[in-house]
Amino acid sequence: MIDEIITDASERMDKSLHSLEIAFNKIRTGRAHPGILDTVMVSYYGSDTPLNQLANITVEEGRLLVIVPWERALITEVEKAILKSDLGLNPSNNGESIRLPMPALTEETRRDYTKQAKTEAENARVAIRNIRRDANSTIKDLLKDKEISEDDQRRAEDRIQKLTDKYIASVESTYGEKEKDLLSI
C-alpha cells in the first residue's frame, strides 16, 4: 500500500520534471535547436499536427534551422504556423525549404528569458511539493483508518521527503544548466 503511494508520487514528480524540460525547450537561447519548434502545430489536412512529424528539421551553422517539409505543398502552412507560434522568429521560404535564423539575444532579452526560466523552475518545485503533500495526506488517512502503524507512517513520510528532495535537486540542476546556457554568449 505504501509502496504504491510512493511509486505514484514518483511517477507524478517525473511528469513534473518532464514538463519543466518541455517548458525550457520553448525558451530559446542564441543557438539554434530543433526542440524550440516542438510546440509548433501545422494545419495538415484539417487537423493540427506537430511540425516535427511533417518535416525534417536540421541545424546549420549553429544559428540557423533548416526545415524541409516532406510535402512541398506544406511550405506555406509551415511558414504560417511558425509566424503564429509567438516564438519571435522570422522564417524565409525558398520554395523547397524554410530557413529560420536565430537572432542574437540582447542582454535584456537574456535577463527576461532567465526570469521566465526561473518562474518555470519555481512552478515545477511547487508541483513537486504539492505531490508530496498529497502523498503525505494519503499516508495520514491510512493511519487514521488504522491500516498502518505510526512507525510505518514516519518511515513512509521520510521516504516521500527523500524522493521530494531528489526531484527538487533535479529541478535545481536543470534550471542551473538552462540559466548558464541563457547567459553564455
33-58 confidence digits (pLDDT tens):
787 787 888 888 888 888 888 888 88
Domain ranges of the chain: 2-26+106-183, 34-101
CATH of 34-101, one of 3.50.50.60, 3.30.1360.40, 3.30.2000.10, 3.40.50.300: 3.30.1360.40
pLDDT at residue 16 greater than cutoff 90: yes
How high is the pLDDT of residue 4? 93
134-156 confidence digits (pLDDT tens):
999 999 999 999 888 999 999 99
Average pLDDT, stretch 21-29? 79
pLDDT at residue 185 greater than cutoff 70: no
How high is the pLDDT of residue 92? 87
Q: Are 32 and 63 in contact (CB under 8 A)?
A: yes
How high is the pLDDT of residue 74? 85
Instruction: Give the cell for residue 118.
Output: 526561473
Q: How far apart are CA 124 and CA 13, in angstroms?
A: 9
Look up the pTM and report it: 0.72
The amino acid at 112? D
pLDDT at residue 171 greater than cutoff 90: yes
Confidence of residue 127 (pLDDT cuts 50, 70, 90): very high
Residue entry with cell 500500500? 1
What percentage of the chain has pLDDT greater than the value 90? 38
Average pLDDT, stretch 80-96? 83
Task: Indicate the pairing of strand 55-60 with strand 47-50.
Answer: unpaired
Confidence of residue 59 (pLDDT cuts 50, 70, 90): confident
Query: Does the domain spanning 2-26+106-183 belong to CATH 1.10.132.20?
Result: yes
pLDDT at residue 175 greater than cutoff 70: yes
Q: Are 113 and 182 in contact (CB under 8 A)?
A: yes
Helices (H), the chain: 2-26, 75-84, 107-144, 150-183
What percentage of the chain has pLDDT greater than the value 70? 98
**Percentages helix, strand, coil for the chain, rounded to the nearest 5?**
65, 15, 25
Mean pLDDT estimate for the chain: 88
Please tell me if the domain spanning 2-26+106-183 has the same topology as the one spanning 34-101: no
How high is the pLDDT of residue 30? 66
